[in-house]
Amino acid sequence: MPDQPAWWTRAVVYQVYPRSFQDSDGDGVGDLGGVLQRLDHLADLGVDVVWLSPVYPSPQADNGYDISDYEGVDPTFGSLTQLDELIAALHDRGMRLVMDLVVNHTSDEHPWFVEARSSRDSSTRDWYWWRPPREHMAAGQPGAEPTNWHSFFSGPTWTLDEASGEYYLHLFSRKQPDLNWENPQVRQAVYAMMRWWLDRGVDGFRMDVINMISKEVAPDGHLHDGPPLPGLPYGDGSASFLCGPRIHEFLQEMHREVFAGRPDRLLTVGEMPGVTIEQARLFTDPARAEVDMVFQFEHVGLDFDESKWHPRPLRMRDLKASFGRWQAGLADVGWNSLYWDNHDQPRAVSRFGDDSPRFRRDSATCLATLLHLHRGTPYVYQGEELGMANFPFTSLEQFRDVESLNHHVQAVAHGADPGEVLAALRRMSRDNARTPVQWDTSTNAGFTTGTPWIAVNPDHLEWNAEAQRADPTSVFAHHRRLIALRHEDPVVALGDFTMLLPEHEDVYAFTRSLDGETLLVVCNVSGHEQALAELLPQAGAAELVLGNLPEDDPALLRPWEARVLRVR
Ligand code: ISL
């Protein structure tokens, strides 16, 4: 680490998913005008950084993660002028703006791809991955795809371009063709675009699936099949594209070309599904100049059986082991993001907490305490600070997400029971995180005066920002205290981490220590009382710094009670 700890060790990031944050023009879709109207909410919460999910021009096949112009704003979301206003308004309030950088793929409607597709000799043909059908097979025949890889959004990762008889690669939907980072022109075009945004005043990037940009290619240009997936005619190609052979070279080059010599107020976050701790250390070792922190997925996969669509209850021991390994693995080098929720995950209070009326507030605040007291940079996803919960989906028509809809088609085509598929979607769909932010009790929760693009959760009458801002015991108020604590107490930002009671299923406890100061964090992650004095006698003499329930018997932890204690 450099002499001074980086500013982002003390920072908290707030993710805005603009489509669902606040609509300002009544078209039912959130927009930049809406974000500008709600800056007081963010300032009151005390967050340091706003990560804005994509607002670029896009056909919206994946809600903006399919970009057709990297240097503009989609009219649905507003204008570049409003984005400039947002940068200025956030800076005025001491906050920074981090943009989403989606450069593993573009939209198929991006001019680069339109040109690439126009002929085999087009000037940008090699900017994407084109391959002929599998040997001895006819183009378009099932199984003729160049590799057997299964797309993140169901089906094959290859789509045939009839005109040229070649397939193009898309790890995500067919409307998201993968860029070929082997081609130096692609890399330079991306770096130029990134510089353009930094020159405009943005403070960094959250880099979408950035560990997928380097693919393993055989010397003859072939890509390799992956091991077959149970019950599907596809294989798992991830060994060929997760942290591929040139990934560190690419990120170091990006750093040199884009970030070197810029002020250190910038933030770079690498979203990296499947990254290992060993790889994460390399990516975030400051001496290597790649990215500031990783955003990894191990803990949000612990409740999957064979896939996210076959969820099982989370075992607390597994979560402790995972978090503990990451804390230890990045203790001396590197940095991690801390999150429960984002726009791709079901709501944490429904998934890891208990969203029944009795425990919703207490479990939401308990989970928040547990997370924010770890070492790393905490992320609050819009609505998480209000304890927003999963949506009570009852029919397929209520879903909007391409991942959910494609999964339904594929699973049913392969013989799954539609009722069971719907039940899995209800639990795991990304749309759970994408319902509008609940601002107040008015129609559509104050999100829009029009018809919202996805239904508002009916529970907004009780769970909304207006009510919580007035209530010192609310989930919102608790988040505000947690964020303030990280700002004030260097132990929270930088202290060493030690896991306690690693095998205990119901009590999650750890210490953080720095320069002779120790914080003891104890969280009852169950609906039953726990005998704290017996489990952790040292808690008895400790001073309460912050708790999520009114002070009571120090020897007991009530259901979902969380305490941060100072041990002298
Ligand atoms: O949500 C997922 C599947 O359940 C993940 O695989 C997710 O697609 C992965 O974490 C990458 O996410 C990012 O890239 C995607 C986009 O759809 C997500 O919204 C984005 O966060 C493709 O750009």
Please report, for the domain that includes residue 141, its CATH number: 3.90.400.10
Instruction: Calculate ∠ Cα 292-489-3, nearest 5°.
Output: 45
| For residues 453-482, average pLDDT | 98
Residue 324: domain span: 8-105+184-477
Q: Which of 392, 564, 567 is nearest to 478 (CA)?
A: 564
Predicted confidence band of residue 280 (pLDDT cuts 50, 70, 90): very high
CA of 105, closest atom in ligand 1: 23
Predicted confidence band of residue 219 (pLDDT cuts 50, 70, 90): very high
Predicted confidence band of residue 184 (pLDDT cuts 50, 70, 90): very high
Q: Are residues 387 and 426 in the same domain?
A: yes
Question: Residues near ligand 1 with C-beta < 6 Å?
Answer: 62, 65, 102, 152, 172, 208-209, 273, 308, 343-344, 403, 430
Q: List Cβ neighbours of 283 (8 Å cut-off, separation of 6 or more).
A: 211, 248, 251, 270, 272, 275, 290, 291, 294, 334
Q: Are residues 143 and 221 in the same domain?
A: no
Q: Are residues 281 and 425 in the same domain?
A: yes
For the chain, report the end-to-end CA distance as a whole number of angstroms: 28
CA of 273, closest atom in ligand 1: 10
**Spacing of C-alpha 447 from chain mean position:** 22
Which among 152, 153, 212 is the best mutation to test ligand 1's pocket, defined by most ligand atoms within 8 Å of the CB? 152
Q: Which of 477, 508, 525 is the last residue of a domain?
A: 477
Residue 345 alpha carbon to ligand 1 centre in Å: 9
Which among 208, 303, 401 is the best mutation to test ligand 1's pocket, defined by most ligand atoms within 8 Å of the CB? 208
Residue 430 alpha carbon to ligand 1 centre in Å: 9
Q: Which of 449, 477, 505 is the last residue of a domain?
A: 477
Tokens of 210: 């950035």
How far is Cα 132 from Cα 520, in angstroms, rounded to an integer? 59
Q: Are residues 465 and 510 in the same domain?
A: no
Residue 122 alpha carbon to ligand 1 centre in Å: 30
| For residues 226-238, average pLDDT | 96
* Identity at 368, one-letter amino acid code: A
Tell me what pLDDT residue 1 has.
46
Number of domains comprising the chain: 3
Q: Is residue 176 part of a domain?
A: no
Q: Are residues 72 and 123 in the same domain?
A: no
Which residue's CA is minimally distant from atom 10 of ligand 1? 273
β-bridge partners, 380: 14
Q: Is residue 538 part of a domain?
A: yes
| For residues 102-118, average pLDDT | 99
- Give the 3-state secondary structure of residue 167: strand
What are the helix (H) ranges across 74-206?
A: 80-92, 111-118, 184-200
| For residues 199-217, average pLDDT | 98
CA of 308, closest atom in ligand 1: 4
Which residue's CA is minimally distant from atom 2 of ligand 1? 344
Residue 180 alpha carbon to ligand 1 centre in Å: 19
Tell me what pLDDT residue 303 has.
97
* Placement of tokens 């390799």 in the chain: 224
Residue 479 alpha carbon to ligand 1 centre in Å: 26
Residues involved in catalysis: 208, 271
Q: Are residues 398 and 442 in the same domain?
A: yes
**Mean pLDDT, all residues of the chain:** 97
Share of the chain above pLDDT 70, in %: 99
Q: List Cβ neighbours of 535 (8 Å cut-off, separation of 6 or more).
A: 501, 504, 507, 509
Which residue's CA is minimally distant from atom 5 of ligand 1? 344
Tell me what pLDDT residue 97 has.
98
| For residues 529-546, average pLDDT | 96
Tell me what pLDDT residue 3 has.
66
Residue 170 alpha carbon to ligand 1 centre in Å: 13
Q: Are residues 117 and 72 in the same domain?
A: no
The answer to whether 352 touches 428, Cβ cutoff 8 Å, is no
Helix (H) or strand (E) holding 485: helix 475-488
- Beta-carbon neighbour count of residue 107 at 10 Å? 27
| For residues 449-463, average pLDDT | 98
Q: Are residues 296 and 367 in the same domain?
A: yes
Tell me the whole-structure pTM to 2 decimals. Answer: 0.98
Predicted confidence band of residue 545 (pLDDT cuts 50, 70, 90): very high
| Torsion angle (degrees, nearest 10) of CA 39, 43, 548, 560 | 40
Which residue's CA is minimally distant from atom 1 of ligand 1? 344
